[in-house]
Structure 1
């Protein structure tokens, strides 16, 4: 009697960070299930609750009870979007892993397209956001110029419009898990990590419900993390401007001595105040830049865990 050998399906992990998304979670889950049904793969959906203060954890608990493919990691507090993604990736068991936001601005209908590219042999399938339907002019312009600046001062090529909606192969995930810095800019890390990649473009629809949790303060912090993580140019610029300032000071001293010798020296109060204010302001700016880098060094040398989990819900797949 011939034995029948069962072939185990490949596993797809979908990592979804959520923060106060009680109005989006169920709709997102429904749309993901519709998309996954067209793929011949087993799957797990890993929600990472980033310290929500609304009913999001309760809704995730309900989903884990209804569907054994759903897992939920409830973080002890809010650690931020990038660390929430990292937590989900650390716990993903799939042969391929997709990271995406839970507000439906990363369309679940694109999941089959990402998987198809992966099956063609690509190890990183990066989505490129051409536009966001509900983004205002200020956000579009700041995003455009931010990518121009970071690519100009960094050695890592970060594609404008790149998002945290991507698929990566298991081998890429294992490499990514070796990177354990606290101040994370995952778009830059993925640009630096290499491997065979391709891109898929999309237009981000408006949020299904609720408001964006990325406040201007969080966006500024995220931008600074990207710059300081992948460029020392601000420090070098401080040196160059300091040298220029020193040269101008020498020229000013020569000018003052000349005026003194020919007897045309004025009382000079205004000139003194201008120079002192200019140099003092530059010093404060440069000290602030240096402080940003020192602060990040301080966080890293403490070697604290990136995150800690209050509760794990759902079935751990084997």
Structure 2
């Protein structure tokens, strides 16, 4: 039986050695062969060089270097595409997904679960703003999406071969793996944990990347924004009708009729703003359709390293 560990890496030169040694120590306690697949997502530091050295010294390590930065979800997808294990664990390389939990994930797999998800109850060094936005993002997702998204869900999970084979059939570009895995079905278990602080460095998830990630999740699993734009337009139409009735009443039944530049300006800006918002929502979905119909590859690999004893680079 083979256990695969899939790890996306982006500018993590300060964490790689610590992560690798910690994972190897844990895997040594398990009665399974293993492989560790690192996917470098276009790092600009020395991450790729360090991974190359690790692969030279350890035949169980495989490294894939993406040609540019494709993003966390696509880097994970690359690793999953190349994983050969009977069970596959995905985790981040910044030590916030504790390697010590791996045996517990494996235990649930041994008990017959197809997917073992981890739920992050809290993060020790998370700011109140990040904790607040994360909490209410998941609440918003569950209100809008057809698929239940577990609050605190993470990309630290185990899947067996059957679940992975199904996951790999999903090839959309705007990927939200937490939602896709939740939608797979199969027999699933949950493991809760508290995420420790990063071992070194800073999070590479900028506000812009987090916003794009959030939009991917909403657009991938919900058409509620499109329906909301229709309802908002309907509401604005009703408000406009009421405004017309008010203007007619003032004109015919009172002596207070005054040239309504202010009213006209407010109405134009209000309705114009609503129209632009609705067009933007529609444009977001149309843009995603445009990306999918081009059928471009999700990612492309610049180089890979897998050294068996005495073998050349593969």
**Range class of TM-score, shorter chain:** over 0.9
SS at match of 1:15: strand
Instruction: Please report how far the alpha carbon of residue 252 of structure 1 lies from its aligned counterpart in structure 2 after TM superposition.
Output: 1.2
Give the stretch that moved more between structures: 75-84 or 243-252: 243-252
The answer to whether residue 294 in structure 2 is matched with residue 291 in structure 1 is: no
Residue of structure 2 in register with 1:213 after alignment: 204
Aligned to 1:6: none
Matched residue count: 307
Q: Could you say which residue in structure 1 is the equivalent of 2:167?
A: 176
2:147 to 128, 152, 156: 156
Superposed displacement of residue 263, structure 1: 5.0
Unaligned residue ranges in structure 1 (runs of 5+): 1-9
The residue aligned with 2:124 is 133
TM-score calculated relative to the size of structure 1: 0.95
Does 2:34 match 1:51? no
What residue is the counterpart of 1:309 in the other structure? 301
Q: 2:60 aligns with which of 56, 69, 93?
A: 69
1:144-183 CA-partner distances (Å, limit 9, x unpaired): 0000000001110111000000000000010011000000
Q: 1:23 aligns with which of 6, 11, 14?
A: 14
2: CA distance, partners of 1:18 / 1:305:
20
Which stretches of structure 1, 4 residues or more, deviate above 6 A after TM superposition?
none
TM-score by length of 2: 0.96
Partner residue in 2 for 1:276: 268
Report the counterpart of residue 98 of structure 2 in structure 1: 107
* Cα displacement string for residues 117-170 of structure 1 (whole angstroms, at most 9, x for unaligned residues): 100000000000011011000000000000000000111011100000000000
Report the more deviating stretch, 280-289 or 156-165: 280-289
TM-superposed CA distance for 1:315, in Å, is 4.3
Q: Which residue of 2 aligns with 1:239?
A: 230
Q: Which runs of 5+ in 2 are unaligned?
A: 309-314
